[in-house]
Amino acid sequence: MTTPWRKSSRSQGNQQSNCVELRLVEGGFQVRDSKLGDESPIFDLTLTDFENLKRAAR
């Protein structure tokens, strides 16, 4: 199962915003740079990796 890419609602309408997109995949999450879209590298994260990323971002 792979869900569509999701971006923070805070970055909608602002092409200059620095934001990442996230989607749920089997076994974890994928993250990419929203400005690069399909050209962005995709990082595969486990649930633990994702929780650590969120904690570090705060």
Residue for token pair 């923070």 = 8
pLDDT digits over 20-54, tens only?
A: 899 999 989 999 988 888 899 999 999 999 899 88
- Domain range annotation of the chain: 20-57
Tell me what pLDDT residue 53 has: 85
Tell me what pLDDT residue 39 has: 93
Tell me what pLDDT residue 15 has: 59
CA angle 46, 7, 9 (to 5 degrees): 130
The answer to whether residue 14 scores a pLDDT higher than 70 is: no
pTM for the model stands at 0.74
The answer to whether residue 1 scores a pLDDT higher than 90 is: no
Distance between CA atoms of 7 and 55, rounded to whole angstroms? 18
